[in-house]
Structure 1
Amino acid sequence: MVERAAHKAYGAPAGGPGGPSGKVDPAVDSKLRKSANEFETQFLSQMLTPMFETVETDPMFGGGHGEEMFRSLLVNEYGKQMSSRGGFGIADSVYRELLRAQEANSHG
């Protein structure tokens, strides 16, 4: 738990989200969080895809076009579940970078 908190704090702007002032529009913050979480979900799904491509299917109970479609949906769902349960911290890093970019646009 301590490691996770330290990992989240690493690289965070001074004063927490929003920089030294700590002011972030809640609507913008929500959009940035959502985008970061969606990115992590897609990243994890793409990482899992090659692993599932190597799994052979039993021709008696699977295979074919239907299984290909189902498998891609299953892998996407695995990515969503992994991300929603904390993921690998990618969403936190992406969120910080999106926040920095948003701040740079608003100040410059």
Structure 2
Amino acid sequence: MPPLLPPAADPRLAAPPAAPRPPGSEAAAARAARDFEAMALGALLQPMFEGLGKGGAFGGGTAEEMWRPMLVNEFARVIAAGGGLGIADAVMRQMLAMQEQRA
């Protein structure tokens, strides 16, 4: 019978070394996390712009209804690219941790 060792000292229970990440996976995760933050910001900004009246700078009408969501999404993308609310950082850390667990 083998000697009893604490779990940390037992080589049979040691976790296998983490596989190195493929090149570019961190950049891809950062891009996906930033896109996710932009989408979340767009969902938060959309109701704010719905409260604005029609007309004004855009002249109102069907064209404004069509273009306003695109403008809101662009605002969200620019905010996320400029650092956003920090959602992208948290999402990227979680994505990388999940990749390491899977490997």
Instruction: From 17, 20, 23, give the equivalent of 1:26.
Output: 23
Query: Distance in 2 between the 1:78 and 1:58 partners?
Result: 19
Q: Does 1:99 align with 2:74?
A: no
What is the deviation of 1:103? 0.8
1:48-104 deviation per Cα after TM superposition (whole angstroms, max 9, x unaligned): 000000100238x62222101110010001001101111010000000000111111
Listed as ranges, the gaps of 5+ residues in structure 1 are 1-20
TM-score (norm 1): 0.71
Find the partner of 2:86 among 85, 89, 92. 89
Structure 1 residue 24: deviation in Å?
3.6
Out of 32, 35, 48, which is 1:35 matched to?
Answer: 32
State how 1:1-108 maps to structure 2 within 5 Å. Answer: 24-58=21-55, 62-106=59-103
Larger Rg: 2
Normalised by the length of structure 2, the TM-score is 0.74
Counterpart amino acid of residue 96 in structure 1? R
SS in 2 for 1:62: coil
Per-residue deviation, 1:26 = 3.0
> RMSD of aligned C-alpha atoms?
2.1
The separation in 1 between residues aligned to 2:26 and 2:40, in whole angstroms, is 21
**Structure 2 unaligned regions, length at least 5:** 1-17
Aligned residue pairs total: 86
